[in-house]
Structure 1
Amino acid sequence: MTAIYKDPARPVAERVADLLARMTAEEKFAQMHAFWLILSPDGQHRERTDLSDTFAGVSEQAALQERLKLGVGQITRPLGTHIVSPRDGVRAANRLQKTLVEETRLGIPAMFHEECLVGLLCKEATLFPSPLNYASSWDPSLVEAVAAAIGAEARAVGCHQGLAPVLDVSRDVRWGRTEETFGEDPWLVGVMATRYVQGLQGPDRSLLATLKHYVGHSFSEGARNHAPVHIGFRELNDTFLLPFEMAVKLANAGSVMPAYHDIDNQPAHSDAFLLTEVLRERWGFDGLIVADYGGVSLLHQHHGVSAGPAESAALAWNAGLDIELPKDDCARHLGEALEYGLISQEKVDQIVARILTEKFRLGLFEQPYVDENAIALQSDESRRLAREVATRSMTLLENNGILPLRNRPRIAVIGPTADDPLALLSGYSFPVHLIISDWLDQAPQVTTPLQALRETLGEAQVSYAKGCHIIEQRMAGAPVFPGESADKPQQQSPVSLDTSLIPQAVTLAKSSDVVVLCVGDLAGLFQSGTVGEGSDTDSLALPGVQQQLLEALVGSGTPVVVVMTGGRPYHLNGYEGRVAALLMAWAPGQEGGYAIADVLTGAAEPQGRLVVSAPKSAGAMPYYYNHKLKSGGTPLAFHFGARYPFGYGKSWTTFDYGELTLAAERVANDEASEIVAQLTVRNSGSVAGSEVVQLYVRDELASLARPVMELKAFGRVHLAPDEQAVLRFTIPVDMLSFTGQDGERVVEPGTFEIMVGASSGDIRQRVRVHLEGDIRHPASRWRMLSRCEVLA
């Protein structure tokens, strides 16, 4: 007779209960962790041992084959861990799955997870732009399409869970992981993340998206990786929890990953209030909570809140964790924790039931293997999408009229990022991620700006000089340990200070009509680069001697167009006003060279708008547009503020804004009410173009201090010269809510200023709306999304 759990016609709950009843304690523990393996098609798998072991303080482990007999919850990055062809990687993963399904007592298949923030992290996958590029397009539907393409590639290689998107809200661009964020506005982050999750998971959640890093990771002390976060719950809820709440409630996100830091002395991996009460009980989250790599071990290794791995395991799983990643560092001690009463059998069963539920729901028991002949990566559509989002994220910050380039000028392409494929990629792109393991992938699918400009304008029109280096030799960076100690080696910066290439670049500039200077940073984890996870900074000056190169080239007398790539905005030390143009390209991915060339030559419009403010200096940090009134100090600190504010970006044309009007100046404070505002926008220039019209709100009087302004709606309009359109914005009154004195979301009656403009620093029209009625707590499923309609 077929066991109930093997019968796909039976309800999932029955299958889970039947299987759970058959499992030993050790088999249950095995479902609560992952293995990080170098897989082999012949079944001779081995454990990955390197940086992560030092990081998590791992001790010697038992024989792998014996442990595999018990099964396992997940396999960590089967294709993303090392350089392996997708076909060989899938064949090896199938061999491991065959062992689990056909050669263990119960035949429980494993879930495979991979990184997929900027494309599937494996060899030959499409290398998409960074999340800063995604958000800079201000096009949620495009972000959803990109995520769907990433999801298709992930499914093709057998991935069941993707460790993306990142919902951290940028607060200090010195933080290395700024490049992974959707920007500094919590609502915009929530909108983009929601659409990313919807695209990645698909309508049936057949691939689990993973919301990270839960929560507040980006507001770390001094913008340092893993550093403590100092924040109260009200601000945490309004700013940092909001995107997670949106992605859970609006997109049914399948997984959440806690962060490494502590908030008010409570480590995130053992925070029962956030992991269970808020996430599961208040929001109704029904997916899996997975540890950030080594995060459970850090409870005793770094935070010092437990005496060892058994206590750490109990703290994390009692708080709400489901699966330890990337290995079983603490899960191996669950038997000890159970024996000493640190965790109950009931709690273990609850956790394993959730894990099994997802495995049944995903159909893993019926279809555990992947068709290695059906792998599809780098499709025409994925490359098209990569190019489209890169192009539409190009953000023009300065232009004295030199752009777009006309009449085929003699161009000197200069700079350390002009012909470096890795300079266009993020830290979680496969070729860059390999650097921490001292592996090298040449990234042949990347087209650099130099290559694209030569292809566009012709070899004869484009000359090249590197000008300087950022890092002369890419290699693994700093060891991953926290704190200062006399017995630990002092790390030396890998950034080059060599100026010997500058004179040659100046000579080339003098013989050219225009210089395209490509500057920025290099993504690399743990100080193997100048931006990325663990690659934080204390300065917003261009890394190395790039500023000296810039000043020398401006001094040549030839117009200099600066193209900045990377994961954070850098200042030009006052040269912003002396360059001919400044284009922010972020990390535009494999098609980024084409995107840059298209905008420089006028084949495409610069449609991007900033989603992080470009601060005047590092001394302004932390800085974000939606700050409190007194954030700049009293008197206002001279270094406070942004040279280029949130929402900013130039076009090839100009736009006039008509009068902003309200459908009603008085609106009832109830869950059905909406604020409706509209205005006319006209293209007042001589060429066609598009504008991102942004609507902000300010609460004029509240029971608690509120930000000076908050984005609540936006819409893009495309107009021919002298063409105009009416934009109508509809904002649910629920979106005026904030976290009140009692820690609950509240909507207070009062007067609100409605502001519409081209950026947070360029407000064109203002009106006031009066919200009438009683103080109200919105429903759990409160209305989180506004609308913008473009009318003829």
Structure 2
Amino acid sequence: MPTKTVDETPLYRNPGAAIEDRVEDLLGRMTLEEKVAQLHAAWLKLSSNGNHEWRVADFAQRTTDISIDSLLKHGLGQITRPLGTHTVDPKEGVRALNELQRQMMEETRLGIPVMSHEECLVGLMIKDATLFPAPLNYAATWNPELIEQVGEIIGQQARSIGCHQGLAPVLDVSRDPRWGRTEETLGEDPYLVGVMGYRYVNGLQGEQRDLLATLKHFAGHSASEGGRNHAPVHVGPREFNDIFLLPFEMAVKLANAGSVMPAYHDIDGIPCHADRTLLTGILREKWGFDGLIVADYAGVNLLYTHHGVARDAASAAAMSFKAGLDIELPGHECALHLKEALARGEITEEVINPIVARVLATKFSLGLFERPYADPEKVELRGEAASRVAYQAAVESAVLLCNDGTLPLNVEKIAKLAVIGPTADDPLALLAGYSFPVHLINAGEKAGVPMATPLQALRARFGDLHVTYAKGCDVIKERSQGAPVYPGDVKMDEAINENRTSLISTDRGQIAEAVKAAKDADVAVVFVGDLAGLFQSGTVGEGSDTDSFDLPGVQQALVEAVVETGTPTVVVLTGGRPYNLGGFEDRIAAQVMAFAPGEGGPDALADLLVGKASFSGRLPLSVPKSAGAVPFFYNHKLKSAGTPIAYHFGSRYPFGFGLGYTKFEYRELEVKELQVPIEGGTIELELEIENVGTREGTEVVQVYVRDRLASTVRPVKELKAFSRISVEAGKRAKVAISVPVDMLNFTDENGDRVVEPGEFDVMIGSSSRDIHLTETVTVIGEHPVILPFSWRMLSSVKSTVEASKAKRVGTDTRPVAK
């Protein structure tokens, strides 16, 4: 009898087969242990010789009750931050990752490759990668195209090290700047956050979605009690959908985001990691999300250690996976107990199998089975394009808040410039909390900071002999690890009642030297603000919340002492949240809010201060008058101000505000149709802006809408369109704006997005406060309309700038050779 020929290559290894067929074949071959292995990560310090070590942390993987070999023998879903966990040479880090990948491919029964994820919010969070500005800077550019370029470059760098998933962007809408993670947000307006966020996702993922962006923190994390980390969120379903879910919906539907990360908090008693309505009902079923839902670090564990809704690790795992979770990060604390949960009937394999299938389908779609390794010799973390974009983002995001004419500084006429302040010569002061050098502080490591400082950049412009420097004070004298991460890590009563000491310096001993430097100078530039650091290792960042908008430490005293000398004083504020200057805003010569501008910040700030570049940034969030005024945001309800209007309500510098070195006038608003249909209608506007100043500048035209009469209370105004427009001095630009009627929606009692007929005030301005042109448009319809799945969620702005006589568009003005 002839021997039957058997094809020994399993279907799942055939790259030509359909992904769904490959998944079905592989899933059918897997044991329960192999399935569970795909549902969690491992947090290891990898080695190229295969001798990997545990990464043990206070808040995750405190202890390990299993050997690394035992953990890995059945495979692994993800490896957590292989190059970002500790300082490692990038090429060596790739070799170590390749070794782990080889072990997964060659030493496990089925040879399923592992996914690698890294943080990438402000650049790839590993040694030597480009240090981009903070997300507040991204938003302050009001330039979606530029932020897509930022995402694209970060994505290229991530791919070069074998990374498959980036843990960004943050789509939390800022509601309370006391919250330490305000620096990670894209501001206080859901539309601005959504536009910037989806463009970042487009750039990071690319057309092939061969690198997954991760939308976080899903959802409402920024509305926590008192702006405190992890605190409960109290928000109704309408506000939740209109404000906090909108940016996520935009990123899912417009950018096909590949992953979502639930938040730590609970909403009305339900933790996000256990909320099936949120993770499955809204995200998957309502929006059609087809990617991976990955836990925030230790978020599953918190279901039983903090929230108290699960009795143990097994129950926590069952609860989260039934809610919609796909992968536990950063380790295996709860997922490994799924077998116990199965035995207790808390979850079934019928629930687990589709989750495993999603993980496998993702790995197939990423091409991991065919291309599991990265080339260490092709690691690319720096380059001319990356530096150029990092600089441009820093230039376009700096916001000029006030200026009496002292700026721009005249290099030729200033004989002595005093550069003062604790952040003037500290590169860490220009970086956000999720940059690699700052992140290492709380890990007990120190990283080199390969960038200049504002002091160095100004010395390069003015010359060393023309610049004097005085630190004036410290924000924190010595950077070190902060406090325990979670409230449950300390005894609550003791922690609340004890007199704990802050790292922030109160030493005024250096102010006298700063006063002397200011007195001897023509102009003083004072650099003050935050030092980002996680969990109270800094003044802003994750777990570094505040109760005040006064400058940290004695910086206010420093500013006041310098101003009192009578020398014109320019204040440059860097950091992750807005601060007030104690009334000295009226006595300084100029103020710049630069947020955390990254490695391009020093040159960008120097160029802006001397006028080589022009200010064009606009505030992505309001600057409340005091901590007692929060929550304050521009898109508040009319009665938010109190009755009578509270004296502390409002903002000196509102959302969308920013000055330049020139001025613009708005005129000739025309509305194409004052009545537009409720279904398929579009509000079409035309206007003109003119640069009436003496130099070229960029205006950010902003369109706001107010619903005059609605079935629910609506905000006083909401941003619906915006655009940056650059115009030469004396020239004009025609601006055409289209706002789909769909964008006038709000959420009804059934959770649907609806548009109601009625009158809407359309306001065009240069900030949420500075409205220059207004018209009323009527939306015509007999009944409210429930929006379809693919509703129109983007406006468009087109501008035509008047051509210069010397150089018209499309005309070669060079002299003809004779």
Give the TM-score range, shorter chain.
over 0.9
The aligned amino acid for 2:696 is: A
**Matched residue of 1:52: which SS?**
coil
Q: Distance in 2 between matches of 1:15 and 1:627?
A: 51
Partner of 2:544: 535
Task: Give 1:724's aligned residue.
Answer: 732
Task: Give the alignment partner of residue 653 of structure 1, picking from 634, 646, 662.
Answer: 662
Paired residue secondary structure (1:62) = coil
1:713 aligns with 2:721: yes
Match runs of 1:9-158 below 5 Å: 9-53=16-60, 58-158=62-162
Aligned: 1:392 with 2:396? yes
Q: Which residue does 1:431 correspond to in 2?
A: 437
Q: How far, CA to CA, are the matches of 2:115 and 2:461 in structure 1? A: 45
Contact 2:56 2:63 (C-alpha < 8 Å) held by counterparts:
no
> Does 2:427 match 1:417?
no
**How far, CA to CA, are the matches of 1:264 and 1:52 in structure 2?**
25
Partner of 2:214: 210
- The farther-off stretch of 584-593 and 716-725 is 716-725
Displacement after TM superposition at 1:447 (Å) = 1.6
1:735 to 743, 750, 770: 743
Match of 1:788 among 797, 802, 809: 797
Aligned to 2:772: 764
d(CA) in 2 for partners of 1:98 and 1:377? 24
| Structure 1 residue 463 displacement after superposition | 1.2
* Greater shift in the superposed pair: 223-232 or 738-747: 738-747
The structure 1 residue matched to 2:785, chosen from 776, 780, 789, is 776
Match of 1:639 in 2: 648
1:671-723 CA-partner distances (Å, limit 9, x unpaired): x2100011111111122111101000000000000000000001122112221
Out of 465, 478, 482, the residue aligned to residue 477 of structure 1 is 482
Contact kept in structure 2, 1:416 and 1:468, CA below 8 Å: yes
Residue in 2 that maps onto 1:461: 466
Is 1:685 the counterpart of 2:690 in the alignment? no
Equivalent residue for 1:183, pick from 187, 210, 215: 187
Farther off after superposition, 700-709 or 739-748:
739-748
- Aligned-partner SS, 2:456: helix
Q: Distance in 2 between matches of 1:665 and 1:476?
A: 60
Give me the whole-angstrom Cα distance separating, in 2, the residues matched to 1:479 and 1:431.
20
Q: What percent of counterpart residues are identical? A: 58
Change (3 A) 1:501 1:703: same
Amino acid paired to 2:423:
T
Gap change, CA 1:365 and 1:408, over 3 Å in 2: farther
2:616 matched to 1:607? yes
**Residues 1:508 and 2:517 are matched in the alignment:** yes
Residue pair 2:752, 2:787 contacting (<8 A) in 1 also: no
Uncovered stretches (5+) of structure 1, i.e. residues with no partner: none
Is contact 1:411-1:513 (8 Å) kept?
yes
CA distance in 2, matches of 1:122, 1:632: 45
Which residue of 492, 516, 520 corresponds with 2:529?
520
The answer (yes or no) to whether the contact 1:300–1:307 under 8 Å persists in 2 is yes
Query: In the TM superposition, what is the alpha-carbon distance from 1:52 to its structure 2 partner?
Result: 2.5
Correspondences of 1:305-344 after superposition (within 5 Å): 305-344=309-348
Residue deviations 1:57-85 (CA, integer Å, cap 9, x gap): x5542111111111100000000000001
The Cα of 1:212 is off from its aligned counterpart by: 0.0
Partner Cα distance (2:492, 2:276) in 1: 32
Distance in 2 (alpha carbons) for counterparts of 1:220 and 1:603: 42
**Unmatched segments (≥5 aa) in structure 2:** 1-7, 802-818
Opposite residue 28 of structure 1, the aligned amino acid is K
User: 1:775 Cα deviation (Å)?
Assistant: 1.1
Partner of 1:673: 681
**Counterpart position of 2:234:** 230
The question of whether the paired residues in 2 share the 8 Å contact of 1:478 and 1:491 is answered with: no
Counterparts of 1:349-388 in structure 2, within 5 Å, are 349-388=353-392
* One-letter amino acid of the counterpart of residue 786, structure 1: S
Deviation string, structure 1 residues 144-182 (Cα, Å, up to 9, x no partner): 001000000000101000000000000010100000011
Tell me by how many angstroms 1:487 deviates: 4.9
Provide the rounded CA distance (Å) in 2 between the counterparts of 1:360 and 1:338: 28
Amino acid aligned to 1:720 = E
Q: How far apart are residue 368 of structure 1 and its match?
A: 0.5
SS of aligned partner of 1:41? coil
What letter matches 2:464 in structure 1? E
**Residue 505 (structure 2) aligns with:** 496
1:648 maps to amino acid: F
How far did residue 655 of structure 1 move? Answer: 0.8
1:7 and 2:14 are equivalent in the alignment = yes
Q: What is the Cα deviation at residue 456 of structure 1?
A: 1.7
The correspondence for 1:704, drawn from 712, 716, 724, is 712
Per the alignment, residue 563 of structure 1 pairs with 572
SS in 2 for 1:515: strand
2:814 paired residue number? none
**Could you tell me whether the CA contact under 8 Å between 1:408 and 1:457 is conserved in 2?**
no
Q: Is the 8 A contact 1:214 1:256 kept in 2?
A: yes
Matched position secondary structure for 2:786: coil
TM-score between both structures, scaled by the size of structure 2: 0.95
CA distance in 2, matches of 1:486, 1:177: 25
Aligned to 1:283: 287
Tell me if the contact between 1:667 and 1:674 (Cα under 8 Å) persists in the aligned partners.
yes
Query: Partners of 1:341 and 1:490 in 2: how far apart?
Result: 47
* Contact preservation (8 Å) 1:663, 1:676: yes
CA shift, 1:742, in A, is 2.0
Farther off after superposition, 352-361 or 491-500 = 491-500
What does residue 805 of structure 2 align with? Answer: none
How far apart are residue 490 of structure 1 and its match? 5.6
Deviations 1:367-399 (A, max 9, x none): 111100111111111011000000111100010
- SS of the residue 1:274 aligns to: helix
Residue 660 of structure 1 aligns to a residue whose secondary structure is strand
Distance, in Å, in 1 between the alignment partners of 2:64 and 2:120 is 30
How far off is 1:661 after superposition? 1.6
- Distance of 2:122 and 2:545 partners within structure 1: 20
Deviation at 1:332, TM superposition (A): 1.1
Figure out how many residues of one structure are paired with residues of the other and give that number: 787
CA distance in 2: counterparts of 1:283 and 1:481, whole angstroms? 33
Q: Secondary structure at the match of 1:373?
A: helix
Letter in 2 for 1:434: L
Q: What are the equivalent positions in structure 2 for 1:582-597 lying under 5 Å apart?
A: 582-597=591-606
Partner amino acid, structure 1, of 2:13: K
8 Å CA contact retained: 1:408, 1:461: no
Q: Distance in 1 between matches of 2:554 and 2:382?
A: 36
CA contact (8 A) 1:648 1:760 kept: yes
**1:521-573: CA deviation from partner (whole Å, max 9, x where unpaired):** 10000000000000000000000000000000001111110000000010000
